[in-house]
Structure 1
Amino acid sequence: MTDNAIYPSQPAYVEHNKGGSSAQPGFGQTTTVVMTQPGYAGQVVAMPRPPDYICGSIFACLCCFWPTGLLAIFYAYRARKLAAEGDMVGATSMANYARNLMITSIVIGVIWVVFVIVFRLTV
């Protein structure tokens, strides 16, 4: 590669000073070439949109244990809102809270139903 090569993606500044009274080509002429070196191009890491668990949270609230179901709906809504704003780390955190509360609500609901069935059969 030569020193005067100009890359198409790089800006270049060329100045010709045609001073001097000589008739010979190249004598008394000044050429300045300023080039920029390729810099570091930052990496963009695209995180996938996390699931917000809104449907499961509504099911857990209506059919299982409503106190933790309501909290699951709240965190699922926050996860959806943060994902829409582009904060995928916060959305993932809120989605994990919603998932855990949804599972807790379903487990408590199942235990409660089993308890009621066993209580009705024994009494």
Structure 2
Amino acid sequence: MAQVQPPAGGPHNVVVTQPVPTTVVVSQPPQRNWMVPAILTCLCCFWPTGIVAIYSAYRAKEAASSGNVLEAEVQSKRARLFVIISLAIGVVLFVIIIIVRVSSPTTNQY
């Protein structure tokens, strides 16, 4: 067999790399903060369920800041649910009030 000669110019080093396990950090996107919609639906739509939405949004924020991702997700979904419920009840009540006002006969005749 023929010997392989290194190219002219001196000795060369051969570097062999081996696969190395890599560290992968998986981070969840932050949960949506439902505090502002909760406050608005509490003030403008239906306050009983709005208060529950505010409380749930607060608990979601606290859980996220302490690193409890699972609890933050649960409380964020709960806050969203109560924001939607408050908004729906508020819209239905608003429509009912308008219908009653328009359909009631006026009794203030001079």
In our comparison, the structure showing a higher alpha carbon Rg is 1
Matched, 1:64 2:40: no
Matching residue's letter, 1:110: V
**How far does residue 43 in structure 1 lie from its aligned partner after superposition?**
4.8
1:86 paired residue number: 67
**How far does residue 86 in structure 1 lie from its aligned partner after superposition?**
0.8
Q: Which has the higher strand share?
A: 1
- Provide the rounded CA distance (Å) in 1 between the counterparts of 2:85 and 2:30: 23
1:116 paired residue number: 97
1:96 paired residue number: 77
Q: Higher relative CO (CA 8 A, sep ≥ 6), structure 1 or 2?
A: 2
Alignment length (residue pairs): 86
- Provide the rounded CA distance (Å) in 1 between the counterparts of 2:74 and 2:21: 31
- Provide the rounded CA distance (Å) in 2 between the counterparts of 1:111 and 1:103: 12
Let me know the Cα RMSD of the aligned residues.
Answer: 1.6
TM-score (norm 2): 0.72
1:73 paired residue number: 54
- Provide the rounded CA distance (Å) in 2 between the counterparts of 1:86 and 1:49: 11
Structure 1 stretches of 4+ moved >3 Å? 38-44
- Provide the rounded CA distance (Å) in 1 between the counterparts of 2:40 and 2:96: 20
- Provide the rounded CA distance (Å) in 2 between the counterparts of 1:41 and 1:96: 34
Matched, 1:49 2:30: yes
Aligned residues: percent identity? 38
Partner-residue secondary structure (3-state), 2:101: helix
Structure 1 segments unaligned to the other structure (5+ residues): 1-37
TM-score (norm 1): 0.65
Structure 2 segments unaligned to the other structure (5+ residues): 1-18, 105-110
